[in-house]
Amino acid sequence: MNKVATKTAFMDVLGESPVLKVLDFLIVNEDFDHSMTDIARHSCVGYSTLKLFWGKLEKGGIVRQTRAVGKAKMYRINFDSPVVRRFRDFYWETTKQAVHGELRGRKLVA
């Protein structure tokens, strides 16, 4: 199984809980829909762990099913939700601040 081992600035600030890993992956890859298997693999979360909280994400309107490809259901983050839109703003602002702070520490940014 090919896992992506990239730690984003967002996770560097807030930690690497399974839920945050999944939300991180879905925000960064918001233009595409993904199967649960792909979400688990690319966010480095075990499939059985993903299944433990996936229902809550669906019920909360955080993710939504977009289509089915054969037996696989495809999902994406739900930007119709005001909570998700605010989370995305928080995500990118946190990332921007973390990167800006790191660059300032390297004296690359005034």
Say if residues 27 and 91 touch (Cβ distance below 8 Å). Answer: yes
**Could you tell me the residue ranges of all domains in the chain?**
9-105
Average pLDDT over residues 6-25: 92
pLDDT number for residue 107: 58
Whose structure tokens read 């992506």?
4
Q: What is the pLDDT of residues 50-95, one digit of tens each?
A: 999 999 999 999 999 999 999 999 999 999 999 999 999 999 999 9
pLDDT number for residue 1: 44
Dist. CA 36–CA 39, nearest whole Å: 5
Which neighbouring-strand residues pair with 72? 69
Q: What is the CATH number of domain 9-105?
A: 1.10.10.10
Calculate the average pLDDT of the chain.
Answer: 90
Predicted structure pTM score: 0.84
